[in-house]
Amino acid sequence: MLASARRHFARENYENVGLREIAGDAGVDPALVCRYFGSKGQLFREAMHDEAFDLGRDADPASLPEYLADLLLSGAESTAKTERLLMMLHSFSSPQASAIILEKIEGDILSPVSAMLKGKDAACRAGLCLAALMGAGIMLSALPSNAMQGADPEMLRARLIAMFRAALAE
């Protein structure tokens, strides 16, 4: 059910996704989705959760720019990391979904990155890093026909790393 929810929320706005569609894709009765998750909002919250995406555990300050570049360049649109980004992009305009998205952004990205940064303006630098991550993510995932798609992978990785280094620099 979660995999189905991620696919649907990654493709469409929160408001346009129905529990019947998610249940049908998962091959279960819609009542079962409600039984396990309670509401579409709670299902969205669970779909946004990704234990594999833990900046506090997976990355250290010295390798964070490389980690983020590799995250963006993993290329698999079906991965939970890319799906989460697309879910955020497609559903931020929904009042209910945006509250969940902001909670996840704060807990999963801004707080861990701020905590690992040394020096002043850590929260601002974490925000700049998120802005770079979201912008590059849009270009690489949501707009697949753009010029970045045909770029040399090593050159693109090096430029992404430089962009993240600049955003995180004290």
For residue 144, name the pLDDT band (cuts at 50, 70, 90): low
Are residues 82 and 33 located together in one domain of the fold?
A: no
Are residues 64 and 8 located together in one domain of the fold?
A: no
Q: What is the pLDDT of residue 123?
A: 94
Are residues 141 and 109 located together in one domain of the fold?
A: yes
User: Which amino acid is present at 129?
Assistant: C
Are residues 74 and 145 located together in one domain of the fold?
A: yes
Q: What is the pLDDT of residue 77?
A: 42
For position 24, which CATH number holds? 1.10.10.60
| Tens-place pLDDT, residues 48-106 | 886 655 665 667 788 899 988 988 887 554 366 667 778 888 898 999 999 999 998 88
The rounded percent of the chain whose pLDDT value lies above 70 is 87
Are residues 77 and 160 located together in one domain of the fold?
A: yes
* Domain that includes residue 6, residue range: 1-48
Are residues 96 and 14 located together in one domain of the fold?
A: no
- Mean of the pLDDT values across residues 18-29? 95
Tally of structural domains, the chain: 2
Are residues 36 and 110 located together in one domain of the fold?
A: no
| Tens-place pLDDT, residues 112-123 | 889 889 889 999
User: Which amino acid is present at 147?
Assistant: A
82 vs 74: CA distance, rounded Å: 9
Are residues 62 and 37 located together in one domain of the fold?
A: no
C-alpha dihedral, 14 to 71 to 66 to 156, nearest 10° = -90
H-type helices in 59-152, by residue range? 64-73, 80-91, 95-105, 111-116, 122-137
* Global confidence as pTM: 0.76
